[in-house]
Amino acid sequence: MTVSSITGRRQGPWLRSAMWVIGTLALVGIVVPGTLGTVASGAAVILLTAVPLLRVVWVVVRLAGERDRRFVIVGVALLSAVAFGVLISVFLRG
C-alpha cells in the first residue's frame, strides 16, 4: 500500500501562524476596551471557527491530488454536513 504524502510539513506552519494571529486578536479583545476590543474578539472567534474547517478543505484538496476518490467523497460529505447545519439553524432562526 502506498504511503500518503499528507504530512505536517505544509499544514503545521500555517496552523502555527493562524494560532498566533487568533491569539493576538483575542489578547487585544481582552486588553483593549470599547469597539476595537469587541471587533478583535469577534474576529478571533470567527477565525477560530474557520480554521478547523479550512483544514478539512486543505486535506480534501490533498486527497484529490492523490486521486483518493473514496476519501474525497468522505471529506465533501463532512463539509456538506456542516453547511447543512448552518442552513438549518439560519432557517430555524428566521
Residues 6+ apart with CB under 8 A from 64: 72
Distance CA 82, CA 57 (A): 12
Site for other proteins in 32-61 (CB under 8 A): 37-38, 40-42, 44-45, 48-53, 55-56, 59-60
CB of 75 to other proteins, least distance (A): 5
Q: Which helix (H) or strand (E) is 63 found in, with range?
A: helix 34-65
Neighbours of 40 (CB within 10 A): 19
Residue entry with cell 467523497: 73
Contacts with other proteins, residue ranges (CB under 8 A): 1-4, 6-9, 11-13, 15-16, 18-19, 22-23, 25-27, 29-30, 37-38, 40-42, 44-45, 48-53, 55-56, 59-60, 63, 66, 68, 70-71, 74-75, 77-78, 81-82, 84-86, 88-90, 92-93
